Chain A
Amino acid sequence: MHELDLIIIGAGPAGMTAAATAAKHGARVLLLDEQRRSGGQIYRDVGETDSARPYLGKDYAAGRALVAALNAPGIDIEVDATVWRVDAGPRVIWSRGGKSHVTRARHVLLASGAQERPTPFPGWTLPGVMPAGAAQILMKTSGLLPRDAVLAGSGPLIYLIAAQMIDAGARPRALVETQSPRMLLRAARHLPRALLATPTLLKGLGLIAKIRAAGITRHIGATGFSAEKTENGDILFSFTAKGHRHQIATPLLLTHQGVVPSTHISRAAGVAHEWNEAQQAFQAKTDPWGRTDVHGIHVAGDGAGIGGADAAKAAGRLAALDILHRLGRLTEDARNQTAAADRAAHRRAMAIRPFLDAAYAPLPEILAPEGDTIVCRCEEITAADIHASLKEGAKGPRQVKTATRAGMGPCQGRMCDLTVRGILANCGATPATPRARSPIKPVKLGELAALTSHKETSP
């Protein structure tokens, strides 16, 4: 039995390029992903859908090559594999079909990617309100198309999804955009740097042109979102734009305020994190190679700060090259020489971020909601509940959690950590990074018990 060189967690752009790079240089790699197929959220099921859904576009189809490259000697892939613990050492514990496995390797690369930022406002828990990216996942995995939907929020993904819906013959009813002309103006100072990523800028302008040409109604600078249920089950969506209150009834309200790093796994592994003010999110702290402060654990891709797929591909390769160097498979010079192109690609991909982060920043009222708006969906804890705990003396995320139960449900804070942080910051606190603990996904007690007698494997 050979020793495993590298376990990669997450088969998205970063994880896939890292696996291919490491295997090309002779490393033995195990790639774990929680979904049924490799691709990550951006390329969900890309290996399956072939040409049946051309409306998903060229950038999506480009993921097919990354998935195909995994079919290489040295790469083992385990899908449907839910990692629930990562330890220094490093050691990974993952579960499938109610059975847990312990696997050791010389290195671990966390490539857990991103999730959509939770967008709390009154009514956001109603059936019929959904993250826009979730609807896009349904388009990719099931071919389901949003019916007469309203897209509300901001960010490049909104335009992409709107364009895909138009091409699929499922025109959105309207776009209700939260960015204001003032935000765009403020973001304009980042444009010179963003010119390094001109193709991406042009793509974005192309999407907006398509939405204009399709004659879709657009509201700009919208605030004050609220959703109610109508008698026939539709969503009555209210918002304020240009000083007027508007209402639109729609079967499906798709919201979006950007994506944020998925950090439960890196936080539970003890990796140091930092607050990214421009992106309003916590991210794993890494050096330019993706190294963390925990020996043997690298982080690559959106988990270390949102950069998108192209940045993640470059970061995945950079991390793999550094790990290969540490495994003794690449000299320092070879690592640095091979990395030059990836370093440049990463710089190009990241050049547009300061502009996007400023132009499509989430609304303050979404970051720190008030009143009866539910913050913790699992335990049904409202913003008012959080405020009350602060009044009673809670000082940080742990005390808020203990006092209110926010973050104690099965999602373990994935849907409320950032909102609790936003409310704390709004109330003058300087919030610490919230803790994440293993098991980072619910595991049955029987499965935990069975593990104590389990022999560790390195396949």
Chain B
Amino acid sequence: MKIASRFLTPPEPAATIQLTLDGEPVTARAGDTVAAALLAHSGDASRLTARGAPRTAFCMMGVCFDCLVEVDGRPNCQGCMVQVRDGMVLRRQRGPRKLMGGAQDA
């Protein structure tokens, strides 16, 4: 079941762009961060922890790393620090942070 966004969409006019989350199309407002776009899209988890617990963006200022998401194939991106782009491909991370493509947690 899809959980409705926990936020009211602003009445302000804005250009929209299209991205996908785990293959599902998502309409986002241009200029938003990935984390804001996902929070506006649904109230669901944007990530599962190593123990399978649901999480979503939390601090919105780059501190907590709960908004980690795969962006265009790059894992462990801070969703609150990355802007949406048309055609962006997002994937929810499930389980432990993976070391992919030479990327590694410090």
Contacts and interface: CB of A to CB of B under 8 A. Distances in A.
Q: Do A and B interact?
A: yes
Contact of A34 (B29, B31, B62): B62
A52 B31 CA distance: 15
A35 B105 CA distance: 21
Contacts of B44: 127, 233
A19 to B, nearest CB: 20
A232 B3 CA distance: 7
Given A125-B53, A141-B36, A115 B102 contact: no
Contacts of A143: 10, 12
Interface string B11-53: 0100000000000000001011100100110011110011101
Contacts, number: 128
Contacts of B57: 130, 134
Contacts of A443: 106
Interface string A390-429: 0000000000000000000111001100000000000000
Interface in A415-459: 415, 439, 441-446
Interface stretch (A68-76, A144-152, A331-339): A144-152
Interface in A70-119: 82, 115-116
Contact of A146 (B7, B56, B59): B7
Contacts of B54: 126-127
B8 A144 contact: yes
B55 A125 contact: yes
A348 interface: no
A115 B60 contact: no
Query: Which secondary structure dominates chain B's binding surface?
Result: loop
B68 interface: yes
A378 B61 CA distance: 16
Contacts of B58: 130-131, 134, 377
A357 interface: no
B66 interface: yes
Interface residues on B, range: 35 or more
A125 B97 CA distance: 17
Of the candidates B10, B32, B54, B81, the one having the most CB atoms from chain A within 10 angstroms of its own CB is: B10
Contacts of B32: 141-142
Contacts of B49: 380
B12 A52 contact: yes
Interface string A129-163: 01101110110011111110100000000000000
Contact of B51 (A35, A41, A135, A380): A380
Contacts of B105: 410, 442
B9 A442 contact: no
A147 B7 contact: yes
Interface of A: 34-36, 41, 52-53, 82, 115-116, 125-128, 130-131, 133-135, 137-138, 141-147, 149, 170, 232-233, 251-252, 262, 377-378, 380, 409-411, 414-415, 439, 441-446
Given A127-B55, A444-B103, A445-B102, 11 more contacts: A131-B60, A135-B60, A144-B8, A144-B36, A147-B5, A233-B1, A377-B66, A378-B65, A410-B65, A411-B63, A441-B106
10 smallest A-B Cβ distances: which pairs? A143-B10, A233-B3, A442-B106, A134-B60, A127-B56, A410-B65, A144-B7, A252-B6, A137-B60, A251-B6
30 contacts: A34-B62, A41-B61, A52-B12, A82-B62, A115-B61, A127-B45, A131-B58, A133-B60, A138-B39, A141-B60, A142-B10, A142-B32, A142-B36, A142-B40, A143-B10, A144-B7, A144-B8, A146-B6, A146-B7, A233-B1, A233-B4, A252-B7, A377-B66, A410-B97, A414-B63, A415-B63, A415-B64, A441-B106, A444-B103, A445-B102
